[in-house]
Amino acid sequence: MSLNEVWEAASASPFYPLIAKDSQLTVGFTLLLAAFLLTGLFGLNRSLLSIASFGVPAALAFGFGAVFMICAVGVYV
């Protein structure tokens, strides 16, 4: 099967990203803001329970938020 046949066979399934280009800034900013607030809440009470309740969500929000934000500003990673 030539690669052109693979291309033609896949005509019904173009690739779309998880978050469209137009929404990247909003999503990225929201997630980074959430990460900032959750980090603040973790900072108020640095206990093992806070890591689970605030630290983990903050880290996740920062991880995905950073990826969307860098895409939103034009550095497509």
Partner 1 sequence: MRPFTALSALCGLFLSASSFVGADSTTSPSRVALPRDFKPPQVFKNANLVRTSNLEKGYLRETVNVVVENVDTQPQSDYYLSFPSDLYDKVGALEVRDKTAPENGRFDVEATEFSPGSDFQYFIVHLPKPLAPSSQITLGISYAVLNSLRPRPAAISQNDRQFLAHSFSAYAPSAYTTVTQKTKLKLPSTSVPDYTTTDLTSGPDPQRQGTTYTYGPYDTANVAPGTFYPINIRYEFTKPVITASLLERDLEVSHWGGNLATEERYWLRNNGSKLTDNFSRVEWTISSYQQLPSSSIRELKYPLKPGSVDPYFTDDIGNVSTSHYRPGKVPNREGSLEIRPRYPIFGSWNYSFRIGWNNDLSAFLRRAVTGADSYVLRVPFIEGPKVAEGIQYEKVVVRVVLPEGARNVQYETLEKSSSNGLPSASQIHSHISSYKTFMDTLGRTTLTLTVEGLTDEARDSQLLLTYDYSLWDSLRKPVTITAGLLTVFVAAWAVGNIDVSIKKR
Buried b (16+ CB within 10 A) or exposed e, 49-64: ebeeebbebbeebbeb
- Asked whether 13 and 46 are in contact (CB, 8 A), the reply is no
- Rounded CA-CA distance 13/1 in Å is 18
Site string for partner 1, 50-69 (x = CB under 8 A): xx---xx-xxx-xxx-xxx-
Compose the 10-49 pattern: x for residues touching partner 1 by CB under 8 A, - for all others: xx-xxxxxxxxx--x----------x---x--xx--xxx-
Closest CA to 65 of 42, 36, 22: 36
Could you tell me the smallest distance in angstroms from the CB atom of residue 10 to partner 1? 4
Binding site for partner 1 (CB under 8 A): 1-4, 6-7, 9-11, 13-21, 24, 35, 39, 42-43, 46-48, 50-51, 55-56, 58-60, 62-64, 66-68, 70-71, 74-77
